[in-house]
Amino acid sequence: MSISPKLQERSVGICELCNTLPAQHEYTISPKESNSINNQVALCDTCLQSLGATNKAAYWRFLEGTIWNPEPSIQALSYRILYTYKGEDWASDVLSSVDLDEDTVQWAMSAFEEEEVHKDAFGNTLENGDNIVLTQALDVKGTNFTASKGTVVKRIRLVSGNPEQIEGKINDQTIVILTKYVKKG
């Protein structure tokens, strides 16, 4: 793949990570998709091939200097790679010493985010508005009743930030129910 003239000009034809080898690849940093130079880094063959590897910690030591580049795309990719090796003392030290813009850190960390999925006791995916059935009797804290096994709870709501909890109404009271005690109905 050839490098766009603007990226070629910014990188001066050199890999923007290792700063030693000729840049031969235009790398777009996910989740950005546009071909804007602001979302891209010029890479050499070695850096591009090493991106997916998890056993190249020694190779990436040069990122101690690269992360200080003023270009946000280079900072984001450097931070992402360093975070992959955060178990290494040198990478952890760099991550704790660098002070990047919050948007750049979020961009870098977006590669490690997992989508929050609520699942019932049998592994079925739950969604807002689903109906569920209790798989065992539950003592409802703060009330004077027990929700019996087989109770149908209609139109549940997923608890944001906790994939192990849902909200539903039983006896006209909204309660929090653990997903391990329900099955999709």
**pLDDT, tens digit (0-9, with 9 covering 90-100), for 4-34:** 999 999 999 999 999 988 999 999 998 876 6
- Between 4 and 52, the more confident residue is 4
User: Which residue do the tokens 């923007």 mark?
Assistant: 16
**pLDDT, tens digit (0-9, with 9 covering 90-100), for 64-73:** 999 999 999 9
Pairwise CA distance, residues 166 & 61, whole Å: 45
**pLDDT, tens digit (0-9, with 9 covering 90-100), for 75-98:** 999 999 999 999 999 999 999 999
Q: What residue spans define the domains of the chain?
A: 5-112, 132-184
Q: How many CB atoms lie within 10 A of CB 47?
A: 26
pLDDT for residue 62 is more than 90: yes
pLDDT for residue 1 is more than 60: no
Report the chain's mean pLDDT, rounded to a whole number. Answer: 91
Structural Rg of the chain based on CA atoms = 24
Among 49, 84, 80, 52, which residue's Cα sits nearest to residue 66?
80
- What's the pLDDT at 49? 93
Domain 132-184 sits in CATH 4.10.1110: no
pTM attached to this predicted model:
0.63
Pairwise CA distance, residues 49 & 7, whole Å: 20
